[in-house]
Structure 1
Amino acid sequence: MAAERGLNDEETAHLFGMCEAAGCILLAVSGGADSTALLVLAAEWAKTSKVKLVAVTVDHGLRPSSSVEAKKVAALAKSLGVPHRIAVWKGEKPETGVEEGAREARYLLLDEAAKKAGATHLATAHTRDDQAETLLMRLAAGSGPAGLAGMRAVRKRGDLVHVRPFLDVPKARLVASLKERGIAWIEDETNTDETFARPRLRGARAVLEGEGLTAERLSVLARRMGRMTDAIDRVAAAAWAETARRQEGKTVLDGAVLLALPDEIALRLLIRAVGGHGDQEPDRLARSETLLEAVLQALRTGQSLGRTLAGAKISVRSGEVEVSAAPPRKGGT
């Protein structure tokens, strides 16, 4: 198999085209191959654009070498003429769910850094390989169409626009881009630690690709699921405007209309209503599906129903579905 080649100037300009309207881009750079390529290629592209760059490295403090690695990134950024900041995750670290905790902390710190820098965009170096791993993890977790749309190349994060220029680029091409320039990167040993799900999936890559589950095909699946999800969301938004009404601190859905809708659209409406009154979005699609089945059955039979989900109270009576905030649990605060 021929060795992968690095990205050329034309390809790089095309990939960063999604950032042309940015005033300032915050680059999330851990020091690994992917994010180092993001820093290097963005710096080259920015020479011919009016976009300002600021690089940030989040030091999670989970490994003894993390602070040294962050300083290496700072030195590389300086050599490229890109301002660099180090954001440290302070405080106690979780004993379980370290990956999720680190991810949440990372984005909070990046959001803070973006505000300080006046950034309009946040760029991360997720690749086609990352997208494939994300899809497999979500498939294993039982995700629905929205989850199987994977990561999006462009996504709003509050006031920030989160861009992933390399989302359809194989990691090997980023590595090749660095090798062609003689630029080193940091290898994180946790990337091969099979106590975590992603490294286990990487270890199974050869088997999966042998069965046709290549990163390229999974990336295509994500795009198709994203296209389908966007279409469903538009239909659901129109149905919401016609069906839902606010009334005395609750949302009321017309039962007859809900019954006439395709189940997928009805499900989106129910999830939106729950999310609007609960203390969190439903965390499991299966729970929302079970709730929808119960609601539709009650509407068909004319029975009353009372359920709770994600901090919301769902009631069915007189042919209507009412969703409001659930009362505090007994003994709770």
Structure 2
Amino acid sequence: MVALAPSVAAARLAVRRALTGLAGDGPVLVACSGGADSLALAAATAFVAPRLGRRAGLVTVDHALQAGSDQRAAAVAAWAASAGFTPAEAVRVDVAGRPGGPEAAARQARYQALVEAARRHGAVALLTGHTRDDQAETVLLALARGAGPRGLAGMPPRRDLSGVPLLRPLLDVTREQTRKACAALGLSPWEDPHNTDPSYARSRVRADVLPALVRALGPAVLDNLARTARLVAADTAALDALAAAALAPPDPAVLADPAAAAGGAGGPTPAEVRVPGGGLSVEALAGLAPAVRTRVLHAWARELGAAPAALSHRHVAALDALVTDWRGQGATHLPGGIRVVRRAGRLNAAGPIA
């Protein structure tokens, strides 16, 4: 009996953990570019899913940005069909005209196509091949860009993508392990030239920054960066929960007896943040911890209609200044022409600019 390669075992174990307990009886859909990470994920899923009573499908996205990309996509789909994936399809997307740089535009087009494929096939989850190395790169890029805790939390192992669960089973598996898994299984990964293109920030981090950190601090730096993301993600989730509770609609019992709801503490209760007639109480906001208050303001700004992609730290800081640095300043302007003013001890939306 031939011993199972440790790299193959690691990938299969990671996929089993991700799929165990998954709700629904539809298939899982693997997003596969043909690179080592997603190919190792696909091979592991093809092995694990049937043993859990789950059908597995595969979608590869052709961004049409490189010569021969259609042939590469067709080859990946053909391999998937031979490996037992149903469905096994290649989808072409149009990247031109989308907002952001080429990398952001390609990512947006890819995920849109994946979500549409998942809905079309009734998939209960999408699986992507992001590895521990990808997580370390994400944390470094977030740090360099001055991102807050949400950015430093990196990529979550599971998140909602337009109503479809997106799973990243390989976040504890290294890029080297995925390459070894492919070699052990006789698979030939495609090497995406964009991964070594220095015009992309992630490529520069991959080729120069991370190797320099490993040389200076040792190989454990990759694990430490990924662990930092997990720790920050846990703290961020707790703060987000506190903010959601603070912004929840007032409980009638709290409105009837605020002192009893506060446990006699005499401070503002979460339910006091929203005030009758709309808006937020400045006094209650001021009583919240800064990390919770800024989250409340960010969530409220989105409620008012500010587009998440356009809502920045600068906008939230301006809202916070209406609470903590009040000098009689005028309205704070949010994306979408929304204005927020402070009047009579509350923050109110003043509507779009005429």
Give the TM-score normalised by structure 1: 0.89
- Percent of residue pairs bearing the same amino acid type: 33
Give the 3-state SS of the residue equivalent to 1:293 in structure 2: helix
Corresponding residue number in structure 2 for 1:168: 172
Equivalent AA in structure 2 for residue 206 of structure 1:
P
Corresponding residue number in structure 2 for 1:38: 41
Change (3 A) 1:310 1:94: closer
Contact 1:120 1:159 in 2 (8 A): no
Shift of 1:210: 3.1
Unpaired runs of 5+ in structure 2? 249-270
Match of 2:331 among 292, 306, 315: 306
Change (3 A) 1:143 1:314: same
Contact 1:15 1:165 in 2 (8 A): yes
Change (3 A) 1:324 1:274: farther
Residues of 1 paired with 2:92 and 2:168: CA distance?
23
Corresponding residue number in structure 1 for 2:31: 28
Residues of 2 paired with 1:106 and 1:146: CA distance?
23
* Runs of 4+ in structure 1 over 6 Å off: none
Residues of 2 paired with 1:231 and 1:266: CA distance?
13
Shift of 1:5: 4.2
Shift of 1:65: 1.6
Match of 1:218 among 222, 225, 228: 225
Equivalent AA in structure 2 for residue 64 of structure 1:
A
What are the Cα deviations for residues 52-91 of structure 1, in whole angstroms up to 9, with x where unaligned?
1110011000001211110110121122111211111137
Contact 1:278 1:324 in 2 (8 A): no
Residues of 1 paired with 2:172 and 2:115: CA distance?
24
Unpaired runs of 5+ in structure 1? 329-333
Residues of 2 paired with 1:109 and 1:232: CA distance?
33
Corresponding residue number in structure 1 for 2:76: 73
Contact 2:115 2:162 in 1 (8 A): no
Give the 3-state SS of the residue equivalent to 1:245 in structure 2: coil
Corresponding residue number in structure 2 for 1:208: 213
Change (3 A) 1:259 1:129: same
Match of 2:189 among 169, 185, 191: 185
Residues of 2 paired with 1:208 and 1:286: CA distance?
31
Contact 2:15 2:41 in 1 (8 A): no
Residues of 2 paired with 1:227 and 1:142: CA distance?
20
Which deviates more, 65-74 or 92-101?
92-101
Which deviates more, 238-247 or 113-122?
238-247
Which deviates more, 218-227 or 67-76?
67-76
Residues of 1 paired with 2:274 and 2:293: CA distance?
15
Residues of 1 paired with 2:311 and 2:245: CA distance?
24
What are the Cα deviations for residues 4-34 of structure 1, in whole angstroms up to 9, with x where unaligned?
941317x624543222325311110111111
Shift of 1:144: 0.4
Contact 2:198 2:204 in 1 (8 A): yes
Equivalent AA in structure 1 for residue 170 of structure 2:
F
Corresponding residue number in structure 1 for 2:124: 120
Give the 3-state SS of the residue equivalent to 1:8 in structure 2: helix
Report how many aligned residue pairs link the two structures. 319
